[in-house]
Structure 1
């Protein structure tokens, strides 16, 4: 079968900072399909020109499109054009997994892949090749006789069984970290936590599944041969198993795999684990993304973070000791937030002296606990506004304009401080705050 995979244009936060990483999910699906002998083309609209009006979808049997919430309007347009040319259209990703009933009932695509896509998408393509229109495949949904048919998705138990991501187009990416050419990889899937505003545990499951250290090392060797000197570990919970982190770091050093890298971490996964932090530093860790979220414990409780705000300075001191920078993330606009609590959070963001600070406006993404909690208050129908920079629900304390002003004010308060204005500069602030409504193709 001839399969086309499309990663829609983003224009989001990391894109504005110049950090464009390859779409690992589609790359895993591509390599899984190629392993079964299918012909696969992958187009990433973030780094490739894509003329939707003139594109000939008839060159392919199946078109698969990845969709998160903010990019869904782009996904709809792509799907519309492909279906008009009588090509089978499959959607996947967090948004479609959460909204598959509505998507299928509107006839926006032929199939939706729920959750992890490697096995389900591959099995679906095999069924399409054998002209089976209504396959009973776990993790695949479709319409039949006016009803939505969907079997629950199955999570992959052994991640080592997956082929490495298809990196055929790695030459198109120019992202750098710490002066080195950078790319991404993932060493585990799943999240045991259930933060209200995050869909990771719903999309990937609450039980963590790890790749073996040997398997990760083998991929790192390939990345080194491809010329990468920096990597980002995109795991939702890279630090949750300290022993595994230490073992990976020691193996990286033993194999002389010298990368400058960063990863995501919860604040409470670092305290009391100085041996892990030291091993990470020695193995090349230069930055951690940490969601401190708020300076107010009541807000953190509302978010379901299960941590206290007063650990922030202890975490920063520990990482400073080992020369690890911090990308600090905060979310404003909780139901319990007021102007005073937001101002308190901004003051904390300044005092922490992180290398990079990110503010987001609380957004109820489909598939999250927050969405179910607030869906009766959501007034915004344009998915493009679900980008973390707009208020999309009726807030008890703020209008959309008021919260937007506080959001911009927060960034200016942090990035016009002498410490960061010389380190990052005004152009960085302008680029970071620019919201690109560039969804035309």
Structure 2
């Protein structure tokens, strides 16, 4: 059987596809775990954003797949549906499966959609075993009703099988990187790849939908398997590795040992990007040192907010002192920080928005990963915000990517939130877009920020603002961002 697996082209405005183009690890893992007699190809459509449908059409004509699998996040689902309809309009006999977070959370709504539904199968939860069983059923070697985690069409309607238990990570084979159709993956001018060392998180953050995919569990791969995966990524040219773990610092002792194992295996010639909790980093005075020795260069740090009131709402109370300690540990080891910030809580006023940006500025956070709180489907935060009447966009999931304001506060409208996020980001943050800046020592980077880059951007903003109001510039930027993911 011939299989084509596709990730979506949609990107988040904070992460430009010009500087960040990452392979989709989920479809790579699916490809690595199907039966070896099948032919499979991977199409990361983020690499073809400017020529989407012709590139997809050529891939289908070249590979002539029997089934196409689409993986989509919530904000990418509309694109996935449109792509599926495009495929069906030209090749009605090709079967189409949809998987990923949105399909897992919203499978009943997808199945009951009254528009032209282009999907034949919905793969729910972790997909490796379910998709492998689906292919076996297509070959006639398995009953459809006996495949946990699968929704499938029968007599014109979808049937939903029981959920599948979580995967045994010890049995999963390495992702396949050799079957990617295109390979222009990039970060900071270098080849980027993705690796996971664990799955899941046991924390109770009510803005996160992770527990609907994995439950509140934490499972880890063996170090031997991780080292094999890193070696495989290097074989295909990787210079940067982004660890996709949901919370790699959940088990700090394990993470320290992993850093030691990376050094021992000689994989500290790579540069790594991880996402981590402030409590995890702050809990060990030796972790950041080990991370630096292993080659970890950038940490997306879940600061979330600096208001104790808002941290309690997110079930993350008492974190501010740990945040300060984590920032100090990372910066003392020359590790750059992308600060995760969540804005738009019920009691937020302009001064609360400003407070967060001012904290990031004074703490010398290197890059800002700010988001406006998003009422993602099936999260506790969504239920609370809807009950309080603060969700202004309930069902247009295309804007559910953290950039757009889909909520209001008791004092600020959605437009206010959008504007204030833009205003303070523009005031405080500085972007480094060249490889030397990412490689520079932390002290040099901050000297560049204070002495050169911040004045440069302020001068640039001054000349750009001549004859324009602040609102004019804001609306121009929002129009540009709104056009980013329009493909049809």
Query: Normalised by the size of structure 1, how large is the TM-score?
Result: 0.91
Is 1:294 matched up with 2:305?
yes
Is 1:197 matched up with 2:211?
no
Question: Quick one: distance in 1 between partners of 2:32 and 2:135?
Answer: 14
* Matching residue within 177, 197, 213 for 2:223: 213
TM-aligned CA deviation for residue 205 of structure 1: 2.7
8 Å Cα contact 1:22/1:170 also seen in 2: no
Question: Quick one: distance in 1 between partners of 2:182 and 2:80?
Answer: 25
Aligned position for 1:277? 288
Aligned position for 1:419? 449
Question: Quick one: distance in 2 between partners of 1:26 and 1:307?
Answer: 38
Question: Quick one: distance in 2 between partners of 1:133 and 1:38?
Answer: 19
Question: Quick one: distance in 2 between partners of 1:38 and 1:432?
Answer: 46
TM-aligned CA deviation for residue 144 of structure 1: 4.2
Question: Quick one: distance in 1 between partners of 2:218 and 2:477?
Answer: 33
Question: Quick one: distance in 1 between partners of 2:457 and 2:186?
Answer: 21
TM-aligned CA deviation for residue 314 of structure 1: 1.8
TM-aligned CA deviation for residue 82 of structure 1: 2.9
8 Å Cα contact 1:268/1:307 also seen in 2: no
Aligned position for 1:439? 486
Question: Quick one: distance in 1 between partners of 2:137 and 2:75?
Answer: 31
* Matching residue within 255, 270, 279 for 1:245: 255
Say if 1:315 and 1:153 are closer, same or farther in 2 by CA, change over 3 A.
same
* Matching residue within 92, 96, 118 for 1:89: 96
Is 1:321 matched up with 2:332?
yes
Aligned position for 2:183? 172
Deviations 1:173-219 (A, max 9, x none): 34135x65332211100110121222122213311110001111111
Say if 1:359 and 1:323 are closer, same or farther in 2 by CA, change over 3 A.
same
Q: Which runs of 5+ in 1 are unaligned?
A: none
Query: Normalised by the size of structure 2, how large is the TM-score?
Result: 0.82
8 Å Cα contact 1:287/1:327 also seen in 2: yes
Whose helix proportion is higher, 1 or 2? 2
Q: Which runs of 5+ in 2 are unaligned?
A: 432-447, 462-472
8 Å Cα contact 1:101/1:148 also seen in 2: no
Question: Quick one: distance in 1 between partners of 2:290 and 2:252?
Answer: 10
8 Å Cα contact 1:290/1:326 also seen in 2: yes
Deviations 1:374-400 (A, max 9, x none): 346444232221121222235432212
Deviations 1:156-183 (A, max 9, x none): 12x2321211112386234135x65332
8 Å Cα contact 2:348/2:412 also seen in 1: no
Deviations 1:206-256 (A, max 9, x none): 111100011111111222333323211111111222222222222222222
1:38-187 map, 5 Å = 38-48=38-48, 49-51=51-53, 54=57, 59-84=64-89, 85-106=92-113, 107-130=117-140, 134-144=144-154, 146=157, 148-157=159-168, 159-168=169-178, 169=180, 172-177=183-188, 180-187=190-197
Question: Quick one: distance in 1 between partners of 2:273 and 2:402?
Answer: 22
8 Å Cα contact 2:202/2:218 also seen in 1: yes
Say if 1:147 and 1:161 are closer, same or farther in 2 by CA, change over 3 A.
closer
SS of 1:91's equivalent in the other structure is strand
Question: Quick one: distance in 1 between partners of 2:72 and 2:423?
Answer: 31
Say if 1:271 and 1:219 are closer, same or farther in 2 by CA, change over 3 A.
same
Say if 1:375 and 1:114 are closer, same or farther in 2 by CA, change over 3 A.
farther
Question: Quick one: distance in 1 between partners of 2:11 and 2:170?
Answer: 32
8 Å Cα contact 2:150/2:161 also seen in 1: yes
